Structure 1
Amino acid sequence: MSRRPPPRRARQLPLRTHWMVLTLLLICLTGALALHGYTNHLFGHAPDGERQATGGHSTVPAAITAGGPVIDAAPAGERSVRPKARTIALTFDDGPDPKWTPQVLDLLRRLDVKATFFVVGTQVAEHPDLTRRIVAEGHQIGVHTLTHADLATTSRWRRSLELRQTELILAGAAGISTPLLRPPYSSEASAITDAEWAAIRATRQAGYLTVLSTLDSEDWRRPGVAAIVANSTPKGTAGQILLMHDSGGDRTQTLAALSKLVPAAKARGFRFATVSDAVALPAPVHKASTADRLRGHAVITAIRLSDGALAVITWLLYAAGALSVLRALTTVIAAKRHARERFWTWGDGTPVTEPVTVIVPAYNESAGIEAAVRSLVASDHPVEVIVVDDGSTDGTADLVESLRLPGVRVIRQRNAGKPAALNTGLLAASYELVVMVDGDTVFEPDAVRWLVQPFADPAVGAVSGNAKVGNRRGLLGRWQHIEYVVGFNLDRRLFDLAECMPTVPGAVGAFRRSALQRIGGLSDVTLAEDTDLTMALCRDGWRVVYEERAVAWTEAPASLGALWRQRYRWCYGTLQAMWKHRGAWVQGGQSGKLGRRGLTYLLLFQVLLPLLAPVVDVFALYGLVFLNPWRVLGVWAGFVALQLAMGLYAFRLDTERPGPLWSLPLQQFVYRQLMYLVVIQSVFTALAGHRLRWQRMERYGSLSTPPGPADDLAGAAR
């Protein structure tokens, strides 16, 4: 293969910038999903009273278990207090709720009652306006953790996170700070376990007073209005802290019970107050500092952004899934139809027997040029072979001349690039039909014959052959073999039917010389000269077709680095060609088919779909951590099964043994990521307006003869 000299004004784009941007985006995306997963999927949804406390009570002081519901576990000495006689501190847990909290507040205003609301941080972040209303109407705020976590069982770091972030959210939402804390799943002081007592002492070190309850309405059970009223009614005249809920489900019974309980209790001489008023605690709630308010706004914004990010990602996942399924269905249906029509007769049915000129551009191809030329000379169709040595320094031209093969000519020129070498070959060609071959490609004996048969139709200007991976041993080779058969060849069948073939591969393609001359030969303005050439032919009105029986074997990169360089050049060159020929979208005839069918397909499935792939991978990790991992694995298995089904069908169409498909699941973890990173890098390079330098591929000389079934079996065994 020839090498393009670096463009004079080309600038190398610093890869570091691209990867820094991509890494930053992935970090932000991962952080947003982690925050959303923590605040939404580690949320304790069980009602407080549903969990029964377990464990011993040996470390809990007797004064606490026999004391009041408001506990100060200070290191200097634990103490607790009870509400004043004939005083009920009405408390609500788990809010604020956009549906029920406003109704509770409206009812409390009509009843002229003040209450204490123990709020969940994530709920406050979602509904800061309700939190501000609670404060504005004279009610009291307490902390019920960030995600309704059980403080008795959580680790120290999570306990600190649950409290501190809730404190910041309250500061950002309502501009307040409160020391009142009701631990989720707590009940009365007499039920405190050793683990809960340790948590209470730890929270006291953070500055919190624990507020338990003496009466549990059990409204979370929804036992009926009468039962809630009975559970909430004091038996004597002792002061009480009553637990109710303004969130966590249907609170219709709670509202109805309140409307009966409050008047009845007042009639018995009870008054209703906030927790601090009930126990004569000097105004515990105070204004938050400016710094905490700013931090709180930042936390609330981050939570909202994480929710928004997940919403966007969800739609992107739907788009990626739809595109994947659409591509699978489209290519398989097209391939099935193409297979039924594979034995078309071209033109009037008369076989094409005229001689063919085969042009082999060569730059330092000594490793594989002999095998390539010998396979061409062995063709069962009359050919002349022109090897254009593009300034090789490894003796490529001398090697070909030393073979003294009949019908083979060598033309030497100074290094000018592959397009220039091919144009040189065109000028020297003796025949109208021209086959272009890479110097690392080995032809089957009948490949040239099959390749030129479609030219019996005068509308056909170019024919794509069936390029197969020859060095398919090893995992990387198998993956590329699968990609060629399942990806490239299925696509070519679709493009053939839709008459919008965007690329005749440089490894195996045939052209009318007159058609090439009419469009001015090959251009060197893109790095994908084969794609640029094919699109130019389509826009000139020629039809480009696919002949699957014209088989040629090519060398695939044997290392990830070499694969990256090859695909980077291919992808960037394809983007260049798409941009160059963008006018085809609005043209008619054969050019319009290329634009509206071929370019749209490339844009959707070879540009946009790979760009969505990192989002899919990040969300898959999110699902394994925060969602049902078995469901995520099931979706992944379904995706792999869809690919495997496509692979089996494509391998059968190409008469390939399905053995290499065992490596398809592994392809999802390395190869797939490499391919979408190539697309991302190419898009970044193109958007930045930089030009990519030509990078010559490594040659291994691994193909001496066309591989056969034995090679497939040997590769599968390895």
Structure 2
Amino acid sequence: MSRRPAVRPTAHWIALSAVVLFLVAVLVVQGYVQHLGGSAADGAAQPGSAAAVPSAVAHGGPVVATRKGLRTLAPPSRTVALTFDDGPDPRWTPEILKVLSAYGAHATFFQIGQQAIAHPDLARAVVAAGSEVGVHTLTHVNLGSAPTWRQQLELTAGEQALIDATGSTTGLFRPPYSSTNAALGDAGWQAIRAAGADGLVTVLTTQDSEDWRRPGVDAILHNATPQGDAGQVLLMHDGGGDRSETVAALKRLLPALAARGIRVTTVSDAFGLAQTSRPATFGERAAAAVTAGAVRVSDGVVVAVEIALLISGILVLLRSVLVVIVAARHVRLSRRRPGRPVGRARTTAVAHTVTDPVTVIVPAYNEAAGIEAAVRSIAASTHPVEVIVVDDGSTDDTAGIVERLGLDGVRVLRRSNGGKPAALNTGIAAASHELIVMVDGDTVFEPDTVARLVQSFADPAVGAISGNTKVVNRGGVLGRWQHIEYVVGFNLDRRLFDLAECMPTVPGAIGAFRRSALAGVGGVSDDTLAEDTDLTMAILRDGWRVVYREDARAWTEVPADLGALWKQRYRWCYGTLQAMWKHRGAVLQGGSAGRLGRRGLTYLLLLQVLLPLLAPVVDVFALYGILFLDPVRVLGLWLFFLVVQTAVAAYAFRLDGERIGPLWTLPLQQIVYRQLMYLVVIQSVFTAIAGRRLRWQRMQRYGTLPMADEGPASAAPADPASASARRAG
């Protein structure tokens, strides 16, 4: 009967999905508001047919109402209805209001909704100064070419933006890109009809100052000055660019018109329009607050996302540069001081060959598929070893397989199932020697692995040594991705940790320890699911050094399917979080403990926790950039980081003596494997925050380990099925 899992991930994925959906919604709002509107100036020619425009509109007055039958209004003589489009603008709208106030004039400001949401104080300032506001859509889109749903959204949201800012409704509307009645085309007429259906009166123009062209102050003044006594609706702009020429021209225009006895006023006053504005109802204000709030939240979230992207980019680049520089130094020091640790020397270590015998402990639970290959490879070591296989209550023939081998120096200890830490402690208690190597039951050694691994014990300050774990079953795309991760991620990081003297993990696949160091920390703890990380951190905090031997290689199996990979990495990540929390006090300590805390834990927190947590944001924002921004720029940035990662990977492969062929899968790794890894981190963090305890999840074995006489270093990557068939044969 299968056991019920201790942690049900449903809540995690609901929370993650909610966050992602919220982010998507926010970016959709931001993309629509900021990047789907028009950017051309009002008054610019809009090509198209005018066949559908009624003659009464084409030859009528500039104010057009359609809700209760079609009618147009013309302005009275010696009157200028002064209008400004495309604001409010924080630079130019206040300047224009100052000029109007100085000459006792008022105007109608047709404001873009997104601008009013961004600067509601300016919309209120317009009304407070005795002028009025009108709708100019939400995003300055050409309504005539927009579908019906967008026409309605632009008009409704544009008016709601003004309600949110001023607390009042408006009945005035000017379509973006509109001009005079005679220049009205079918698209513009469609926009007028849509506005009329929404209860808005459309205001066109009769005189265009053409300040949007920025032709110079004299030209603007000439274009804005009425040539006779006929009333005019004058178009000017307080937003959409540099309006210094508009301000300068207005300072000359207003006194000139006053001298001619021409009244300058708002549209409502000029045309005698009643009830174009009224206080908004509670429902209208609430709806407006929701609309404006959504836009403001999207603005704030996008700023936060941009900061997160900047942090992510900096972390990725810093890590890439740092690990390459450190790896190069690590190689130089390793060549200069063979057999000795490459970090800061704390003792006067004698460069000699370590020949002391070694006890190799192999904890085993249901390892029948690979235990023979593992034990044979260890027993074939060129260094003197005793091998202790601790069978932790296996239900298969693991212990029997080892016993039937009849190898000298190999013994089997049987115990009831108690978990890997208990099995390791049993082996430690039975060990005959001071130097102990721990190896997983799915791992094989090369003949000189043990000899190379223990050489760093020439320095008496070294308490533990990490070896170089290599992937055996690297066939297939998933195997290649993990092979890349082991070479580039794990081993480059270990070189960095070695030089910084803050190695957080001696992997269970290959690690060497002094028995005295193990005794000093009470052996292997079962407090976390990452017993190897917990043990390593404890040894560092006890004052020992932990180093890396890249020339001591162990070959291990990795998961061959995504489900098994998920279980393994979930356990690793959750266990690492447990160990980080358990040893958080190292941050405040000195010596090797302080180096672990301030260097190692900080690195893990930033690169293995924070960066993966930001990764979904990066991916969602990348899609946003492709849809709403410049896709070429976004793809170019992605390609840049891919090139950087490929260069780092190629360097890491060169250091490890690996062929670079598998790197062709790196682009695919960025869009498949990377997502799996950050989802693992996200679920692990959720689990840790929830205070849940995760069960041990053992990895499936595939029997792909080569026998000692096959030579792991030269063995071709094996297919699990064919390897199992070969064992059976």
TM-score tier after normalising by the smaller chain length: over 0.9
2:193 to 195, 201, 212: 201
Between 252-261 and 172-181, the greater mean CA deviation after superposition = 252-261
1:336 aligns with 2:332: no
On the 8 A contact 2:152/2:194 being kept in 1, the answer is no
- Give distance in 1, aligned partners of 2:643 and 2:114: 39
1:52 to 23, 27, 45: 45
- Deviation, 1:279, is 2.4
1:89 aligns with 2:81: yes
Determine the structure 1 residue equivalent to 2:516. 514
- Deviation, 1:354, is 2.5
- Deviation, 1:174, is 0.9
Query: Which residue identity does 2:320 align to in structure 1?
Result: A
1:236 aligns with 2:207: no
- Deviation, 1:120, is 0.6
On the 8 A contact 1:173/1:297 being kept in 2, the answer is no
SS class of match (2:144): coil
Q: Which residues of 2 match residues 603-642 of structure 1 at below 5 A? A: 603-642=605-644
2:128 to 113, 132, 136: 136
Question: Which string of whole-angstrom CA distances, capped at 9 and with x for unpartnered residues, describes residues 667-697 of structure 1?
Answer: 1111111111211221222222221111111
1:69 aligns with 2:74: no
Determine the structure 1 residue equivalent to 2:542. 540
Query: Which residue identity does 1:18 align to in structure 2?
Result: H
SS class of match (2:182): helix
SS class of match (2:39): coil
Question: Which string of whole-angstrom CA distances, capped at 9 and with x for unpartnered residues, describes residues 553-585 of structure 1?
Answer: 111111111111111111111111112122221
- Deviation, 1:707, is 3.9
On the 8 A contact 1:11/1:690 being kept in 2, the answer is no
Determine the structure 1 residue equivalent to 2:345. none
On the 8 A contact 1:657/1:712 being kept in 2, the answer is no
Higher RCO (CA 8 Å, separation ≥ 6 residues) = 1
Query: Which residue identity does 2:107 align to in structure 1?
Result: A
On the 8 A contact 2:473/2:719 being kept in 1, the answer is no
- Give distance in 2, aligned partners of 1:260 and 1:460: 85
Determine the structure 2 residue equivalent to 1:439. 441
Determine the structure 2 residue equivalent to 1:505. 507
- Give distance in 2, aligned partners of 1:61 and 1:639: 58
2:210 to 218, 221, 235: 218
- Give distance in 1, aligned partners of 2:185 and 2:266: 27
On the 8 A contact 2:525/2:534 being kept in 1, the answer is yes
Determine the structure 2 residue equivalent to 1:98. 90
SS class of match (1:500): coil
Name the CA shift for 1:538/1:220 in 2 (closer, same or farther; >3 Å).
same
On the 8 A contact 2:48/2:186 being kept in 1, the answer is yes
- Deviation, 1:269, is 3.2
Query: Which residue identity does 2:319 align to in structure 1?
Result: R
- Give distance in 2, aligned partners of 1:517 and 1:710: 38
1:711 aligns with 2:704: no
1:451 to 447, 453, 459: 453
- Deviation, 1:132, is 1.5
- Give distance in 1, aligned partners of 2:118 and 2:18: 26
1:15 to 9, 33, 56: 9
Name the CA shift for 1:56/1:426 in 2 (closer, same or farther; >3 Å).
same
- Give distance in 1, aligned partners of 2:704 and 2:255: 93
- Deviation, 1:317, is 1.6
Determine the structure 1 residue equivalent to 2:346. none
- Give distance in 2, aligned partners of 1:474 and 1:277: 77
Give every structure 1 segment of 4 or more consecutive aligned residues whose post-TM-superposition deviation is greater than 3 Å.
Answer: 10-14, 705-710, 712-715
SS class of match (1:685): helix
1:164 to 115, 138, 156: 156
- Deviation, 1:714, is 9.9
1:316 to 276, 294, 308: 308
Name the CA shift for 1:713/1:212 in 2 (closer, same or farther; >3 Å).
farther
- Give distance in 1, aligned partners of 2:675 and 2:186: 50
- Give distance in 2, aligned partners of 1:164 and 1:637: 41
Determine the structure 2 residue equivalent to 1:3. none
Between 630-639 and 189-198, the greater mean CA deviation after superposition = 189-198
- Give distance in 2, aligned partners of 1:85 and 1:515: 100
- Give distance in 2, aligned partners of 1:526 and 1:77: 78
On the 8 A contact 1:462/1:509 being kept in 2, the answer is yes
1:475 aligns with 2:468: no
1:40 to 34, 41, 46: 34
Question: Which string of whole-angstrom CA distances, capped at 9 and with x for unpartnered residues, describes residues 688-709 of structure 1?
Answer: 2221111111111111345445
- Give distance in 2, aligned partners of 1:471 and 1:714: 7
Structure 1, gaps ≥5 residues long: 1-5
1:549 to 548, 551, 556: 551
- Give distance in 1, aligned partners of 2:384 and 2:486: 28
- Give distance in 1, aligned partners of 2:620 and 2:172: 39
Determine the structure 1 residue equivalent to 2:410. 408
- Deviation, 1:352, is 1.8
- Deviation, 1:69, is 0.9
On the 8 A contact 1:118/1:144 being kept in 2, the answer is yes
- Deviation, 1:252, is 2.5
Query: Which residue identity does 2:369 align to in structure 1?
Result: A
- Give distance in 2, aligned partners of 1:52 and 1:694: 71
- Give distance in 2, aligned partners of 1:11 and 1:397: 28
SS class of match (1:308): helix
RMSD across aligned C-alpha pairs, in angstroms?
1.9
Question: Which string of whole-angstrom CA distances, capped at 9 and with x for unpartnered residues, describes residues 343-402 of structure 1?
Answer: 423343332223221111011111111111111122222222111100000121112212
Determine the structure 2 residue equivalent to 1:372. 374
Query: Which residue identity does 2:254 align to in structure 1?
Result: V
SS class of match (1:544): strand
- Give distance in 1, aligned partners of 2:293 and 2:188: 32
On the 8 A contact 1:613/1:676 being kept in 2, the answer is yes
Determine the structure 2 residue equivalent to 1:421. 423
Query: Which residue identity does 2:49 align to in structure 1?
Result: G
Determine the structure 1 residue equivalent to 2:107. 115
Name the CA shift for 1:401/1:713 in 2 (closer, same or farther; >3 Å).
closer
Between 298-307 and 488-497, the greater mean CA deviation after superposition = 298-307
Q: Which residues of 2 match residues 347-358 of structure 1 at below 5 A? A: 347-358=349-360
Q: Which residues of 2 match residues 550-589 of structure 1 at below 5 A? A: 550-589=552-591
Between 651-660 and 236-245, the greater mean CA deviation after superposition = 236-245
Determine the structure 1 residue equivalent to 2:278. 286
SS class of match (2:145): coil
SS class of match (2:597): helix
Query: Which residue identity does 1:148 align to in structure 2?
Result: H
SS class of match (2:635): helix
Determine the structure 1 residue equivalent to 2:23. 29
- Deviation, 1:712, is 5.7
Query: Which residue identity does 2:21 align to in structure 1?
Result: I
Between 12-21 and 675-684, the greater mean CA deviation after superposition = 12-21
Q: TM-score, normalised by structure 2?
A: 0.94
- Deviation, 1:710, is 6.0
- Deviation, 1:495, is 1.1
1:345 aligns with 2:342: no
Between 343-352 and 212-221, the greater mean CA deviation after superposition = 343-352
- Deviation, 1:628, is 0.9
On the 8 A contact 2:442/2:556 being kept in 1, the answer is yes
Aligned residues between the structures: 705
- Give distance in 1, aligned partners of 2:603 and 2:194: 61
Determine the structure 2 residue equivalent to 1:363. 365
Query: Which residue identity does 2:77 align to in structure 1?
Result: A
- Give distance in 2, aligned partners of 1:498 and 1:134: 62
SS class of match (1:649): helix
On the 8 A contact 1:70/1:81 being kept in 2, the answer is yes
1:397 aligns with 2:399: yes
- Deviation, 1:498, is 1.4
On the 8 A contact 2:518/2:539 being kept in 1, the answer is yes
